[in-house]
Amino acid sequence: MSLTLIRRASAEFAGTALLVAAVVGSGIAAARLSPTDVGLQLLENAIATALALGALILTFGPVSGAHFNPVVSAVDWWLGRRAGTGLTARDLAAYTAAQTFGAITGAVLADLMFGLPAATWSRTDRTGGNLWLAEVVATAGLVVLVFALARSGRTAAAPAAVGAYIGAAYWFTSSTSFANPAVTIGRAFTDTFAGIAPSSVPGFIAAQLVGGLLAVAALAAWYPHAADSADVVVVPHFAQENR
């Protein structure tokens, strides 16, 4: 693995870890500060997550593109594989591993910051066709947004746009928009407001992958040359060396 890829993968690890720490930590804080109002808890959790995501894209985007999401990375690889843009297969493997372990680390970090056991399997069941459908919609919308911004030359708006989308999707989807396999796995390690039971994880990930496939189809119809911009997803980052 080249030093450049190590640097980029470490950025994906740190960014995903901090994203999950924000999701889980703000969920814990919300449950403690507003113990009798679930709606207010969700609002607090959504606002903190949206703001943190925007800040993390600004921080790590110049290094790795700030994917923080295996589906975004997989679509980036798929669209760019023939054009020679976007991630290589080696990049994709490194990004996915970094994102997944980063998400687990972020959940552990949040638990520790709030004086909880480092890792406890969640007991929050999240299963059912309506939740899986919500994850398909949330993931497809996120991927289309990211690639539409890149293809139209508006990546400067990505921190605000992606943060706003996720913040809104907390409310317009019944699943509260996980939209990310790595984050889903990480959230299984915390038995708190933002947790998901391990038995519910496969259904969510399957739905997220379907959402990614739908996004590829949508991009083919609406942005047929999206592959040309795969190198600047989510935001432009340093030139890839030793590809």
Q: What is the mean pLDDT of residues 84-113?
A: 97
pTM: predicted TM-score of the whole model, two decimal places = 0.95
Whether residue 243 is predicted with pLDDT greater than 60 in this model: the reply is no
Walk me through the domains of the chain, giving residue ranges and CATH numbers. Answer: 3-232 (1.20.1080.10)
Which DSSP category does 235 fall into? Answer: S
Q: Which residue has the tokens 């990505």?
A: 158
Q: What is the mean pLDDT of residues 77-82?
A: 91
Q: At 238, is the pLDDT very low, low, confident or very high (cuts 50, 70, 90)?
A: confident
Whether residue 241 is predicted with pLDDT greater than 60 in this model: the reply is no
**Quick check: 86 and 76 in contact, CB under 8 A?**
yes
Q: What is the mean pLDDT of residues 138-150?
A: 98
The answer to whether the peptide bond before residue 234 is cis (omega within 30 degrees of 0) is yes
**Quick check: 169 and 5 in contact, CB under 8 A?**
no
Residues 6+ apart with CB under 8 A from 151: 223, 225, 226, 228, 229
Torsion of CA 95, 97, 98, 103, to 10 degrees: 120
Q: What is the mean pLDDT of residues 59-63?
A: 97
Query: How distant is the alpha carbon of residue 31 from its chain centre?
Result: 23
Please write the tens of the pLDDT for every residue from 204-218: 999 999 999 999 999
